[in-house]
Amino acid sequence: MGCNRREFLKIAGLSTLLGAGGNAAFELLRPGALEASEFVEGKRSLEAGRWSMVIDMRKCLGERNCTKCMDACHETHNVPDFGNRKDEVKWIWKEPFENTFPDQENEFQTEELEGKPFVVLCNHCEHPPCVRVCPTQATFKRKKDGLVMMDYHRCIGCRFCMAACPYGSRSFNWRIPRTAHNLQQHRNPEYPTRTKGVVEKCTFCDERLAVGLGPKCVEACDEKALIFGDLDDPKSVVREIIRNNYSIRRKPELGTNPSVFYLI
């Protein structure tokens, strides 16, 4: 059977099209993928446009040595404690008022605020500088709810993010976390540890949000000083509180638009 150039090209084009749409190409491009399987979000997952937190420092008992939120968080997330500042890893911690809000440069301050320990954590900024500088996108902003996330699998430990974060919310693992005395004694078996050479930080408990629970620190605070909610929803608890109380945020002049609000 003869076939001229025109017919040959027609047949070749058609078979390429069929081939590209067919199962063969699918297998070629994504080997091992099962066509019937899929990934879905958990049914219990909590949804929001932009997760945020209000910290009511009028209720916080931090100055009376309360560390319930920090202990609960660090225990849940297997955060190592090496007992020295150099190797310190922290997700949520205390910082004196003057260091929390260095832009509040009042020469004289109320006695109540002077040196008062403030609870600080990752601000989950709308424009996170850490994300901008990360060369591997190991830290990224989750589109659906604005969480600034960490993908430890991708972190190469360059610490650009630590230099970029104006809040000191990120810690580097200088040592093997599992060798810390607290992790030697007790580990939360349901959460991983990190490895030496990665940067870690608070993730607003993304793993708990996925199963319908709020952040652990919020749950742990008996004074209800930590309030968590959706900043995009005008009817949410956080928006209600911010509407009725004067709130301040850490270094808003930098344009990061932090999502953690403080009532003082």
Nearer to another protein, 147 or 242 (CB): 147
Q: Does 240 bind another protein (CB under 8 A)?
A: no
Q: Does 59 bind another protein (CB under 8 A)?
A: no
Quick one: which of 116, 2, 133 has its CA closest to 58?
A: 116
Nearer to another protein, 14 or 210 (CB): 210
51 neighbors 124 (Cβ within 8 angstroms):
yes
Q: Does 38 bind another protein (CB under 8 A)?
A: yes
Looking at 64-72, 105-113, 137-145, 247-255, which segment touches another protein (CB under 8 A)?
137-145
Provide Rg for the chain, Cα atoms.
Answer: 24
Residue 62 DSSP label: G
Q: Does 160 bind another protein (CB under 8 A)?
A: no
Q: Report the Cα 39 to chain-centroid distance in Å.
A: 22
Q: Does 105 bind another protein (CB under 8 A)?
A: no
Q: Binders of another protein: how many residues, by CB under 8 A?
A: 33
256 neighbors 166 (Cβ within 8 angstroms):
yes
Among 103, 114, 151, 222, binds another protein (CB under 8 A): 151
* Stretch 169-188 residues interacting with another protein (CB under 8 A): 187
211 neighbors 42 (Cβ within 8 angstroms):
yes
Nearer to another protein, 81 or 95 (CB): 81
3-state secondary structure of 2: coil
Least gap, CB of 102 to another protein (angstroms): 34
Q: Please name the residues in contact with 197: beta carbons below 8 A apart, sequence gap of 6 or more.
A: 155, 157, 172, 173
Least gap, CB of 168 to another protein (angstroms): 23
Q: How far apart are CA 41 and CA 43, in angstroms?
A: 6
Which chain residues interact with another protein by CB under 8 A?
31-43, 45, 78, 140, 142, 144, 149, 151-153, 187, 189-196, 206, 210
